[in-house]
Structure 1
């Protein structure tokens, strides 16, 4: 920090920056005129905004599985979810088809008898 002021142009620029007036006659701080430090070149977010966003994303990453596990640990909650989200509705179960040739013959005989009786 023993370098002369002429070797520090960025600091001189900050010192020579005039105050800008904000609405209502309030003067802004010199630091607000300094170029904002961005995370990546050309990025619109400041380093602070990026850190806040990354902390929020990490919190979601950690909290979401914990909350989901806590909710689905409760059997009544799972039952409630399953009942409210029945996407497939199966028709009531009917008579099962015959499995082998003998059952087919028996059913055909029953059907013929029923037809002959009518």
Structure 2
């Protein structure tokens, strides 16, 4: 059975947008981890935006992956920004007291020529 998750990585001028769609859970979060593990995260490198607009479900396993991704980004001198966080994900962040750990990027996904 195929994982119920889509991951698309798009690079703009100074921004890498990782768009996630479907169910983000313990079983599917390694797909996001693999997609982001190959990115060039470094000081002065591209900003990293995780676009969650298409996420239909999220669980604690996915939250662990988000926290690890945040830690990895910080360790490499950049910031992970979350965009279009669905209500269920916001509730999970609130219930676990982790919402304040993330930086949020409002508005539509960046396009060509956009700096985040």
TM-score, with normalisation over the residues of structure 1?
0.18
Structure holding more strand per residue: 2
Structure number, greater radius of gyration: 1
TM-score, with normalisation over the residues of structure 2?
0.18
Identify the structure with bigger relative contact order (alpha carbons < 8 Å, sequence gap 6+): 2
Structure holding more helix per residue: 1
